[in-house]
Structure 1
């Protein structure tokens, strides 16, 4: 989490070409964005990070 903005910052495995192509069916991917895979095992940690980001953003 970015301490200044409370934005979540994700690091993950870059998606393969087939996954990226599937994502493109829903719309374009801007040059400044990328498609990453976040393992399902990370859901609880992401949920916790979302709760913390929401809490911090409310304070700012």
Structure 2
């Protein structure tokens, strides 16, 4: 697997912070974020159970431009 780095949260110290990447093999977005608190997880489960293989994370709104860029990269390189 090769991950293309897009951006880290500019408002954090540069380590252990939300990060946006794109998997260059299949164009999936890979997001690293803060673990959601139990209340947020409970609210998300109203839309369906949270499987063991999934996690709820939080990405700050200031990262929207990085997510847009990652979407553009993924869209350009998506395997069709």
TM over 0.5: yes
1:9 to 24, 27, 30: 30
Once residues 21 and 6 of structure 1 are traced to their aligned partners in structure 2, the CA distance between those partners, rounded to angstroms, is 30
Q: May I ask how many residue pairs the two structures share in their alignment?
A: 59
What's the counterpart of residue 11 of structure 2? none
Whose helix fraction is larger, Structure 1's or Structure 2's?
1
Is 2:18 the counterpart of 1:30? no
Residue 74 (structure 2) aligned to one of 50, 53, 57: 53
Higher RCO (CA < 8 A, seq sep 6+): 1
Give distance in 2, aligned partners of 1:12 and 1:51.
20
Higher strand share: 2
Runs of 4+ aligned structure 1 residues displaced above 3 Å come to none
Unaligned runs of 5+ in 1: none
**What RMSD, in angstroms, separates the aligned Cα atoms of the two structures?**
1.1
For normalisation by structure 2, the TM-score amounts to 0.69
Unaligned 5+ segments in structure 2 are 1-21
Match of 1:21 among 42, 53, 66: 42
